[in-house]
Amino acid sequence: MTAVAHEPTTPAEGLLDIFLSLDTPEGFRAELIEGEIVVTPPPDGDHEDYIGLIVSQVIRRSRTDMQFSGNKGLLLKSEVHDPKNHVIPDGTFAPTALRLYRGAEPWMPCDGVAMVLEVTSSKPRTDREAKRHGYARAGLPLYLLVDREASSITLFSDPGSDDYRQLRTVPFGTSLALPGPFGFELDTTDFL
């Protein structure tokens, strides 16, 4: 008996099928962002250093015990674009009590994620715009963006239907207040 392949019924389903069947080289990330397949190369050392500095502070100083993942993909709820966005943030933080990162699936819903983290790299516009809008539409409460070109860090909060309604940007070397459930001042002195 011959297996019958699934035939996509819409172009969006066809794109999603192609995306989910990609076999990217080791270290590369494939994401589906606003209907576009985006493949990014492995990050450089500075990129990873910024992430490490932030994770270290969150784990040590957060009022709520937090877990971190730099590998788990998020399925962003979206009524604007079809298919759903499949993104792999540079990092996600969630309260440890929720144990969100369990399971073998590479993609998880974003419910319960307290903050997403992105550090700009080869395609900074994607982090500054497309991902920001996707995270807001998905209702992710906090989006922390380290913008290496601008030498600044921005915290987006109060997600709306297509963007965050509040943001605070500070230059590297300045502290940035992270609200609950974190509840501490993120020190960016070592970002200089």
Q: What are phi and psi of 171, to 5 degrees?
A: -75, 155
In which element (H, E) is residue 60 found? helix 45-61
**How big, in percent rounded to 5, are the helix, strand and coil portions of the chain?**
25, 35, 40
pLDDT (0 to 100) of residue 2: 41
- 100-132 per-position pLDDT tens digit: 998 878 888 899 999 999 999 877 988 999 899
- Cα separation, 176 vs 132, whole angstroms: 19
User: What would the pLDDT profile of 130-174 be if each residue is shown by its tens digit?
Assistant: 899 999 999 999 999 999 999 999 999 999 988 999 999 999 999
pLDDT band at 81 (very low <50, low <70, confident <90, very high): very low
DSSP state of 96: G
Q: What's the pLDDT tens digit per position in 27-58?
A: 777 777 777 777 777 777 899 999 999 999 99
For domain 43-70+89-191, give its CATH number from 3.90.1570.10, 3.30.450.20, 3.60.15.10, 3.40.640.10. 3.90.1570.10
